[in-house]
Amino acid sequence: MTGVELRDVSFRYPTSAGNVLKSVTLQCRPGQITWLYGPFGAGASTVLLLAAGLAPRHTGGTMTGAVSVLGHPLDAAGLSPLLGQIGFVTATPHLQMSGIAATVWEEVAFAPANLGWPLARIEQAVEDAMTALGVAHLAGREPDTLSGGELQRTVIASMAVLEPAVWLLDEPTTALDAAGQTDAYRMFRRAARDGATVVVASEQADALADVVDRLIVLRDGEVVLDGDPMSLLAGDDIWEGGPGSTSVAGLCRDASRHVDSPRLAMPYPVTIAHALERWG
């Protein structure tokens, strides 16, 4: 079964000049972290909104083609079969707090409580999620008093608490310090290992290169590359038709334009470890 599937999907927002997605077909599989990568306007965030059932339902706009999540078509039949199965961390986490929780603990417990979980289960799940994201010490704080990084951790915990089958993550670690990023990606990895479909839209090539299983590159609303992350990031196509690779691959590629050396040949080193091995 496919986690998230788009078949020949074209979509435009009410205010966009043309289609922001053009005949996109892609599949994100359970057990994998799939990275949607493309520069501004490429359509990665829009794919997440469609998969979450928020577009076109809440955004407006027009869509053709078919979107399905966990085998359920997201059509007029509605999202009810998927209730509690999809977690979404948006690129504006401060706008997705409930706004009615008095404490961070209540914020993280908000979705499970609304799904009617028994209290004991909620307590355990909230504690686990808060611990995993390093916000357990903030349990009693008013959400309004959190720093940007603490807030982003709390939003991730609020989603992780449901242990959803599909994780949709739009730039989920922009406000996190290095330790927080590590915690977050460790958690996404654990979810994938447990069978979840994890989809991340991000511009952070250096952070994602060695934590994802699959890379889908978008450009101007179209899928231009789809495959193994390391192979794609080590090549030239991702620069010529897409958003570029990691800073290490970029360093090697730029240097190769100035001097002809086997040390700079493709496949380019993608990570720091690759580079130290090749140039050390």
Partner 1 sequence: MTAVLTFVSVRFGYLRGAPPVLEDLSFQIHPGEGAALLGPNGVGKTTVARLAMAIRSPQHGAVTTVGRPTRALGPEDLADAVGYVFQHPEMQMIERTVAAELGFGPRRMGWPQERIDKRVGAVLRELGLAAVASTHPYDLPVGHRRLVALGAALMVEPSLLILDEPTAGLDREARKTVHRVVRGQREEGTAVLAVTHDTEFAVEALERGLVLDSGSLVADGPLADLLARHRATGLSLPGPALIAHRLGWPTRSLRTEDVTVALVERCRQEGPSIS
The site for partner 1 (CB under 8 A) is made up of: 13, 15-16, 39-41, 45, 91-92, 94-95, 138, 145-150, 153, 171, 174-180, 203, 205-206, 243-244, 246-248, 250-252, 254-255, 258-264, 271-272, 275-276, 279-280
Identify the sign of the CA torsion 6, 56, 74, 157.
positive
- Identify whether the C-beta of residue 209 lies closer than 8 Å to the C-beta of residue 275: no
Nearest-approach distance from CB 151 to partner 1, in angstroms: 9
Q: Which is nearer to partner 1, 3 or 172 (CB)?
A: 172
Nearest-approach distance from CB 163 to partner 1, in angstroms: 24
- Identify whether the C-beta of residue 64 lies closer than 8 Å to the C-beta of residue 50: no
Nearest-approach distance from CB 38 to partner 1, in angstroms: 8
Nearest-approach distance from CB 143 to partner 1, in angstroms: 13
| Pairs from 123-127 (Cβ < 8 Å, separation ≥ 24) | 125/161, 125/162, 125/163, 126/161
Nearest-approach distance from CB 256 to partner 1, in angstroms: 9
Between strands 72-73 and 62-69, the pairing is antiparallel
Tokens 């989809």 found at:
199
Tokens 């209290």 found at:
119
Q: How far apart are CA 194 and CA 278, in angstroms?
A: 35
Q: Which is nearer to partner 1, 229 or 243 (CB)?
A: 243
Nearest-approach distance from CB 97 to partner 1, in angstroms: 12
Residues in the chain: 280
Nearest-approach distance from CB 75 to partner 1, in angstroms: 26
